[in-house]
Amino acid sequence: MPRGNQARKYEYLSCKEGGTGQLDRMFKEPADKRAESLSRITRNRKVYFAVFYEANQTKCKVIYELEPRVVVEETNRQLDQSRNAISHVGFSEDWAQENGRVVYHDRT
């Protein structure tokens, strides 16, 4: 039997150190497709960004918790600058550090 609130949704992005977490196939246009793409973010209670060690890509270095509205703002910024109707939207660890909060940090 499922436990917890099934209506709560979470999105996660991941990358290795120095990489970027991506949302693939985000539509810049037409407007209805863009709104549908952004709903992939706004439907979530939180967005998590996990960074894995370059030397050991199965070991998590840090996880940031991000508010969906902040992720949408950056996504809109990147889509507005894109020359393509369909784009990958990337988020660096530096961006996550500036815009989120650490919820896990490896202490080893």
Give pLDDT tens digits for 8-44: 788 889 999 999 999 999 999 999 999 999 999 999 9
CA distance 50 to 62: 6
| Rounded-to-5 percentages of helix, strand, coil across the chain | 30, 40, 30
Give the list of residues 6+ apart from residue 30 with CB closer than 8 angstroms, or none: none
As a whole number, the mean pLDDT across the chain is 93
> What pLDDT sits at residue 4?
60
Q: How is residue 78 written in tokens?
A: 């990147």
CA distance 49 to 62: 8
> What pLDDT sits at residue 1?
43
